[in-house]
A and B are shown apart, each in its own frame.
Chain A
Amino acid sequence: MQRAAGARAGPGALPTARHGGVRWGPLVPIVPALLVVLVLFVYPFAYGLALSVHPIGSLAKGGMLANYAAFFGTPWERASIWNTLRLAVPVSALDLAMALPLAYRLRRPLPGQRVITALLVIPMTLGTVLLAEGMIEFFGPAGWANKVLLALHLVRMPVQFVHNYTGVFISLAIADFPAVFLVLLGYASGLDPRVEQAARTLGAGRWARLRRVTLPLLAPGIAAAAALSFVATFSVFPSAVLVGEPAGSTRVIALAAWQAAYEQFDYPRASAIAMVMAAIELVFVALVLAVRNRAYRGPTIGGRG
Chain B
Amino acid sequence: MSAVARAARARTAEGSSWWVYAAVAVFALLVLGIFLSAFLNSIASSWFGGWLPDGYTTRWYRFALAEFDLGYVLWVTVVVGVSVTILSLILGVPAAYVLARHAFPGRSPLLLLLVMPMLVPPITYGIPLAAMLYAAHLGGSLAGVIIVNIVPALPFVVLIMTPFFEQIDPNLERAARTLGAGPVQVFRRVLLPIALPGMLAAGLLILVRAIALFELTFLVSGARSQTLVVALYYTAFAAGIRPAQAIDAMAVVYMITGLVVLLAALRFINPVNMVIRVRR
* A interface residues (Cβ-Cβ under 8 A, vs B): 5-6, 8-10, 12-14, 16-17, 22, 24, 26-27, 29-30, 32-34, 36-37, 40-45, 47-48, 51, 98, 101-102, 105-108, 110, 112, 114, 116-135, 137-138, 142-145, 147, 174, 177, 182-183, 185-187, 189-190, 200, 227-228, 231, 234-235, 237-238, 241-242, 254, 257-258, 261, 267, 270-271, 274-275, 277-278, 281-282, 285, 301, 304-305
Contacting pair A275 B271 (CB below 8 A): no
- Are A26 and B237 neighbours in the complex by a CB distance under 8 Å? no
Residues of B within 8 A of A231 (CB): 118-121
Give Cα A235–Cα B20 distance, bound, in whole angstroms.
Answer: 31
Please state if B104 and A22 are interface contacts (CB–CB under 8 Å): yes
- Measured CA separation A228–B159 after assembly (Å): 13
A33 and B30 alpha carbons, distance in the complex (Å):
41
Q: Across the interface, name the chain B residue whose C-beta is closest to A24.
A: B104
Q: How far is the CA of A32 from the CA of B173 in the complex (A)?
A: 23
The answer to whether B31 touches A47, judged by C-beta atoms less than 8 angstroms apart, is: no
A235 and B128 contacting across the interface, CB-CB below 8 Å:
no
What chain A residues lie within 8 Å of B252 (beta carbons)? 130
Which residues from A are CB-within-8-Å of B35? 126, 130, 134
Nearest Cβ on chain A to B85's Cβ, whole angstroms: 15
Residues of chain A within 8 A (CB-CB) of B132 are 43-44, 47
Q: Determine whether the beta carbon of B17 is less than 8 Å from that of A105.
A: yes
Question: B41: which A residues are within 8 A, CB to CB?
Answer: 133, 137
A-B contact count (CB 8 A): 295
Min CB distance, B46 to chain A, in Å? 12
B116 touches A41 (CB 8 A): yes
- Is the contact region of chain B dominated by helix, strand, or loop, or is it mixed? helix
B237 touching A241 by the CB < 8 A rule? yes
Contact of B275 among A132, A186, A200, A278 (CB under 8 A): A186
Q: Which one of A30, A123, A132, A304 contacts B95 once the chains associate, using CB atoms below 8 Å?
A: A30
Q: Is B8 an interface residue (CB 8 A)?
A: no
> Are A174 and B30 closer than 8 Å at their CB atoms?
yes
A30 to B154, CA, bound (A): 12
Would B236 and A242 count as touching, CB distance under 8 A?
A: yes
Residues B170 and A116 in contact, CB atoms below 8 Å apart: no
User: CB-CB < 8 A to A32: which residues of B?
Assistant: 90-91, 94-95
Other A-B contacts than A40-B150, A124-B208, 6 sampled, CB-CB below 8 A, are A6-B103, A24-B104, A41-B125, A42-B113, A127-B229, A127-B232
> Which residues of chain B come closer than 8 Å to A10, judged between CB atoms?
166
Output the nearest chain B residue to A43 by Cβ-Cβ distance.
Answer: B132
B91 touches A33 (CB 8 A): yes
Q: Cβ of B259 and Cβ of A125 under 8 Å apart?
A: yes
Measured CB to CB, the nearest residue on chain B to A185 is B272
Chain B positions within 8 Å of A, measured between CB atoms, are 13-14, 17, 19-21, 23-24, 27-28, 30-31, 33-38, 41, 48-49, 51, 90-92, 94-95, 97-105, 110, 113-114, 116-129, 131-132, 147-148, 150-151, 154, 158, 166-170, 173-174, 183, 208, 212, 214-215, 229, 232-233, 236-237, 244, 247-248, 251-252, 254-255, 258-259, 261-263, 266, 271-276, 278-280
Chain A residues in 8 Å Cβ range of B261? 125
Q: Is the CB of B262 within 8 A of A143?
A: no
In the complex the two chains form, is B114's CB within 8 Å of A33's CB?
A: yes
Whether A48 touches B124, Cβ cut-off 8 Å, given contacts A129-B251, A190-B278, is yes
Shortest beta-carbon distance, B269 to chain A, in Å? 11
Chain B neighbourhood of A125, CB < 8 A:
208, 212, 255, 258-259, 261-262
Q: Which residues of A contact B121 (CB under 8 A)?
A: 231, 234-235, 254, 274, 277-278, 281
Known contacts: A44-B125, A127-B212, A189-B278. The answer to whether A12 contacts B166 by CB under 8 A is yes
Q: Within the assembled complex, what's the spacing in Å between the Cα atoms of A44 and B278?
A: 36
Taking a contact as CB atoms under 8 Å apart, the answer to whether B119 and A129 are in contact is no
Expressed in whole angstroms, the minimum distance between the Cβ of B221 and any Cβ of chain A is 12
Q: Are B214 and A190 in contact (CB under 8 A)?
A: no
Contact B37 A137 (CB under 8 A): yes
Decide: A27 and B13 in contact? CB cutoff 8 A.
no
In the complex, what distance in Å separates the CA atom of A177 from the CA atom of B30? 13
Which residues from chain A contact B255 at a C-beta distance below 8 Å? 125-127, 130
Residues of A within 8 Å of B21, CB to CB, are 112, 116
With A and B bound together, what is the CA distance between A196 and B203 in angstroms?
35
**CB-based contact A129/B262 at 8 Å:** no
**Closest Cβ–Cβ distance, residue B159 to chain A (whole Å):** 10
The 5 A-B residue pairs with the shortest CB-CB distance, nearest first, are A235-B121, A29-B94, A186-B275, A125-B258, A9-B103
Across the two chains, which residue of chain A brings its CB closest to B158? A33
Q: Within the assembled complex, what's the spacing in Å between the Cα atoms of A274 and B216?
A: 13
Chain A, residue nearest B35 (CB)? A134
